[in-house]
Amino acid sequence: MSQLSTRSLLHKRMSAFVDWIRTDDDKVDTIREQAAEIRARIRGQAEEAGLTVRSTPNSGSFEKKTGLRRHLLGDSAVEGQDVDLPFVVSPHDEDGKRIDELLNRFDRYAEATYPFTKRKKTKSSVQLDFVGTKLRYDLVPMLAVVGDDQAQILLRSNGEQRRTSVQKHIEFVTRRTGESNLLRGRVKFNECVRLIKWWREFRQANARVLEDVPSIVLDLMCANAYDRIQVKETYAETLAQWFSLLAATVQKRERIAFNDFGSLPPANRTTEWEVLDPVNSENNVIAQWGTAEVDELGDWLEEACDTLHRVIAADLRGDDVASLEFLVELFGSPFRHHCEAEK
């Protein structure tokens, strides 16, 4: 694999695709301006209604720089960049601590503020879809933690309350991106996360049982791979090694855990597999998965590793057509149309 050159057509194609799948440059300023406006307006509605909003921290893939462009053509749909807008609140009564009550309130605030904007309640947020900018914002009510401005309580539809920190989740990803920026070559941690998130979209479309792999799971798997083997000079080398390592990790049920923000608990032998939230090590983010889901993820990773090795072998023998076809297998038909550098 060391024979792979950064001057090869394979590396140029993957570099161009990485540049294309990120959030459109011309949308970045729009997102920041629109997000600030939504925060201010919804916060105003909430406080006018008597709800105390402690903070509205930056959150999600936009802040981590791991968001994807929206692509909705044909059979290659990728929803793209959602922008999370947490509203950390201190309710005045017990009813105000229930997720259904908070979602009803934020739905009313959204209707009053943006009456002609499409909106939808999910299990933990109120989605706002802006037709003009083609952007979606998730209003996420969370509870404040007394005495800790860096912590929040995430509410679940089943009544569960889980401590988290959106600020520390951002730090967890951006720290590794910053470290990778100091390494030789153009391959960065956050860009590899983007590629794997894009790959995930096309695997889920044909899933047997694993129809939703949350982005937090991919963030943690990628961090595990990065911490163990970093990034290489090319995207193909990096992903081939990451997929190989992660396939073995899943198949052997090796725990994924981090000590960035504290010590680790003993392994839980009663669960199928553990992927622990670095902010709250009591939270196994795949706790609801069973054997079938974990096995399918392992199969996906092994197949991706095999495909990338075929990609690399084709590139080394100069078969650019075969190399491209294998890359389309991995990343869908958009790769074929967006793997050339813009002039």
pLDDT, tens only, 266-295: 999 899 999 999 999 999 999 999 999 999
User: Where is average pLDDT lowest: 83-87, 193-197, 202-206, 290-294?
Assistant: 202-206
- Whole-Å CA distances, 257 to 23, 221, 283, 295: 29, 9, 11, 19
Looking at 132, 165, 198, which one is the last position of a domain? 165
pLDDT of residue 329: 95
pLDDT of residue 2: 47
pLDDT of residue 116: 93
Residue 262 lies in a domain: yes
What is the radius of gyration, based on Cα positions, of the chain? 21
Residue 48 lies in a domain: yes
Q: Is 60 exceeded by the pLDDT of residue 77?
A: no
Question: Residue 50 gets which letter from DSSP?
Answer: T
pLDDT of residue 131: 82
pLDDT of residue 60: 86
The overall average pLDDT reported for the chain is 91
Looking at 140, 165, 190, which one is the last position of a domain? 165
- Tell whether 238 and 293 lie within a shared domain: yes
- Tell whether 305 and 215 lie within a shared domain: yes
Residue range(s) defining the domain that contains residue 268: 9-22+169-337
What six digits make up the tokens of 185? Answer: 């070559």
Average pLDDT over residues 238-263: 97
- Tell whether 65 and 174 lie within a shared domain: no
pLDDT of residue 184: 86
Q: Is 80 exceeded by the pLDDT of residue 130?
A: yes
Average pLDDT over residues 247-273: 95
Number of domains within the chain: 2
Q: With cut-offs at 50, 70 and 90, classify the pLDDT of residue 81.
A: low
Residue 3 lies in a domain: no
What six digits make up the tokens of 107? Answer: 């739905």
Residue 148 lies in a domain: yes
- Tell whether 255 and 328 lie within a shared domain: yes
Under 8 Å between Cβ of 52 and 107: no
Q: Is 60 exceeded by the pLDDT of residue 1?
A: no
Residue 241 lies in a domain: yes
Average pLDDT over residues 288-314: 97
pLDDT of residue 135: 84
- Tell whether 129 and 231 lie within a shared domain: no
Q: Give me the phi and psi of 227, to 5 degrees please.
A: -60, -30
User: Where is average pLDDT lowest: 2-11, 74-83, 103-112, 304-313?
Assistant: 74-83
Looking at 134, 165, 196, which one is the last position of a domain? 165
- Tell whether 29 and 158 lie within a shared domain: yes
Residue 2 lies in a domain: no
User: Where is average pLDDT lowest: 96-110, 235-249, 287-301, 306-320?
Assistant: 96-110
Residue 96 lies in a domain: yes
- Tell whether 111 and 175 lie within a shared domain: no
Average pLDDT over residues 289-314: 97
- Tell whether 105 and 220 lie within a shared domain: no
Q: Is 80 exceeded by the pLDDT of residue 17?
A: yes
- Tell whether 312 and 196 lie within a shared domain: yes
- Tell whether 156 and 173 lie within a shared domain: no
Q: Please report, for the domain that includes residue 76, its CATH number.
A: 3.30.460.10
- Tell whether 159 and 253 lie within a shared domain: no
Question: Residue 61 gets which letter from DSSP?
Answer: H
Residue 343 lies in a domain: no
- Tell whether 137 and 176 lie within a shared domain: no
Q: With cut-offs at 50, 70 and 90, classify the pLDDT of residue 76.
A: very low
Q: Is the pTM of the predicted complex or chain greater than 0.75?
A: yes
What six digits make up the tokens of 76? Answer: 């290659």
For the CA atoms of 300, 297, 121, 131, what is the dihedral angle to 10 degrees? -20
40 versus 29: the higher-pLDDT residue is 40
Residues 273, 250: Cα–Cα separation, whole Å: 8
Q: With cut-offs at 50, 70 and 90, classify the pLDDT of residue 119.
A: very high
Q: With cut-offs at 50, 70 and 90, classify the pLDDT of residue 305.
A: very high
